[in-house]
Amino acid sequence: METILVSLGAGLMQAFEPLNLFMIFAGCLAGLFVGCMPGLGSVNGVAILLPVTFLVPPTAAIIFLAALYYGAMYGGAISSITLGIPGASTAVATVFDGRPMAQQGKADKALMAAAIASFIGGTVSVILFTLFAPPLAAFALKFGPQEEFALMLLAFATFIGLGGDDIPKTVFSILLGLVMAAIGFDIISGQPRMIFFDMVEFQRGIGFLVLAIGIYGIGEMLWTLESTKGQVTMHKVQITWARMKANFAEVKKYINSTWLGSFLGFFVGTLPAAGATPASLMSYGLSKTFSKDPDSYGKGNVAGVAAPEAANNAASTGSMLPMITLGIPGSPTTAILLGGMIIWGLRPGPLLFTESPDFVWGLIGSMYVANVATVILNLAMIPIFIRVLAMPFTLLTPIIFVLCVLGVFATTDRMFDTWIMLILGVGGYLMRKLNYPVAPAVLAIVLGPLAERSLRQSLISSQGDVTTFVTRPISLTCVLLALALISYPLVQRALRRRQSQRRAA
């Protein structure tokens, strides 16, 4: 405990260094911006801006991107409430009660509740993070390649078991990401693999950022252009000091839902397939179930805004936990952060705590500061962000496209990658329209090389004996859990069929 406090103190000191403090504010602002723009969320912001962060040292870069991540969680609520369109998928549940409140002229109350609940959710989860991360990392130090591989298997299994998407399509998405990660030289035998059409460019493989920016930059913009073409109506927001003070007094109305959302969000956030969107929906549902007045939900109950907002912020921090301690990202956004860490020359995983304590604790320290920074920026700048929301797509779209193209070019200095990005972006958009989930592919291309290496390392060390994965207790547990998750939808379907048969009989 004492060592944690000492390290945390050092981390906080680091967060207050001028450059890092600047990055926190810049990241929060950028996050609020991408969060409140309909169609853009944290994952889009992180993917598009990652290439630009090579300007600053890795610690400052991840602080910026992490701050962007929370900022986007706060920002999503702004458009959910004022436009009735979720600013990001993570803010879908905020629309349910946020929009009725705005229609009743209580938009300011909803926005304040969202900001305060987000702050509480973020703070609770960052405290949980600080308590859980060091022991988990210390435990994970015992992991060999067998455990690493079993954990990745588990991560992919969560998509099948809990993702809720069409299963063959999810499997296809995962495997496509894994195969794309294998293009280029084989790390163990050194043989070139999958050099399509004998193009030399394929020897260097397809970087994860090319896929991530293609899908979350290009594909997402195409998606947004198509879905928000209709006219949007903005609700007026009245903000005065007197109203703000009155709104502060209302906190106790939704404090219970906020606590619930904070804890739930953190734990749901740590699961790779779950993350902030399901966490906020679950939190909304549970808060409604436990409420004394469930009928008022969906008609403008302030607790219905607070519960999902607390949960999505908590989940964003929660998804960092497996990324920092185990090297398994808890969400698509953290998958991109993980890829970024590899580019910065850091090795994600349990060793990070011992090898780069400055980096880890600087990041944790910055999370505390970023939460305070975002709540202040958010409350102060709501009027400005509402004006930004009125920005037409003919100005925003070209900016995003240019940043995507040049960002991809800048990471590898090859025009070839920008072509691949365009192909993947358009392809991803076309597949997404048919409900192929895209997040598993992004996670898979980041984890692919690590998964293949750990699989083959384990098998080389066991001289080709596959039982090595089931004779070690931790890896056996993960494999069994993964199998259970994969079979979960099948079992569920069988049960449902039996039930309907019984009902018929």
Partner 1 sequence: MTVRTAELLMAIATLALSLGLMFNVYADGLTIGWVEGRGPGAGMWPFWLSAGMALAALATLVRWVQRKTPESRSDAPYIAPETLFLVAVSAVSLLALLVLMTVIGTYLSLMLFMFFYVRVLGKHSWAMTWAFVVGTPIFIYLLFEVALTKYLPKGWPIFEEGFLVIDNLRYEYFY
Binding site for partner 1 (CB under 8 A): 52, 54-55, 166-169, 171-172, 175-176, 178-179, 182, 186, 188-189, 191-196, 218, 221-222, 225-226, 229, 392, 394-395, 397-399, 401-402, 405-406, 409-410, 413, 415, 418-419, 422, 426, 429-431, 433-436, 452, 455-456, 458-460, 462-464
Q: How far apart are CA 75 and CA 88, in angstroms?
A: 8
Cα–Cα–Cα angle for 168, 171, 173, nearest 5°? 110
CB of 419 to partner 1, least distance (A): 6
For partner 1, the closer CB: 246 or 402: 402
Q: How far apart are CA 413 and CA 408, in angstroms?
A: 8
Show Cβ contacts of residue 58 under 8 Å, excluding neighbours closer than 6 positions: 341, 344, 345, 346, 359
Return the structure tokens found at 146.
Answer: 């067998």
For partner 1, the closer CB: 169 or 243: 169
Q: How far apart are CA 52 and CA 46, in angstroms?
A: 10
CB of 336 to partner 1, least distance (A): 19
Can you list the alpha helix ranges (DSSP code H) found in 272-414?
276-290, 303-318, 320-326, 332-343, 351-355, 357-388, 393-412
CB of 392 to partner 1, least distance (A): 6
For partner 1, the closer CB: 323 or 451: 451
For partner 1, the closer CB: 103 or 435: 435
For partner 1, the closer CB: 289 or 463: 463
CB of 414 to partner 1, least distance (A): 10
For partner 1, the closer CB: 358 or 465: 465
Q: For tokens 């991109």, what's the residue?
A: 336
For partner 1, the closer CB: 26 or 255: 26
CB of 29 to partner 1, least distance (A): 17
Residues listed for the chain: 505
CB of 158 to partner 1, least distance (A): 17
Residue type, 302: V
Sign of dihedral through CA atoms 64, 174, 187, 425? negative
Contact 369, 68 (CB under 8 A): no
CB of 227 to partner 1, least distance (A): 8
- Strand, coil or helix: 185: strand
Contact 324, 137 (CB under 8 A): yes
For partner 1, the closer CB: 247 or 418: 418
CB of 127 to partner 1, least distance (A): 36
For partner 1, the closer CB: 285 or 449: 449
Contact 165, 437 (CB under 8 A): yes
CB of 309 to partner 1, least distance (A): 30
CB of 394 to partner 1, least distance (A): 3
CB of 64 to partner 1, least distance (A): 14
Q: How far apart are CA 457 and CA 469, in angstroms?
A: 12
Three-state secondary structure string covering 287-316:
HHHHCCCHHHCCCCCCHHHHHHHHHHHHHH
CB of 314 to partner 1, least distance (A): 32
For partner 1, the closer CB: 200 or 505: 200
Query: How would you class 500 by CB atoms within 10 Å of its CB: exposed for 0-12, middle for 13-18, buried for 19 or more?
Result: exposed
Residue burial 338-368, b: 16+ Cβ < 10 Å; e: rest: bbbbebbebebbbebbeebeebbbbbbbbbb
**First vs last C-alpha separation in the chain:** 60
For partner 1, the closer CB: 279 or 455: 455
Show Cβ contacts of residue 307 under 8 Å, excluding neighbours closer than 6 positions: 93, 117, 254, 257, 258, 260, 261, 280, 283, 284, 286, 287
For partner 1, the closer CB: 5 or 410: 410
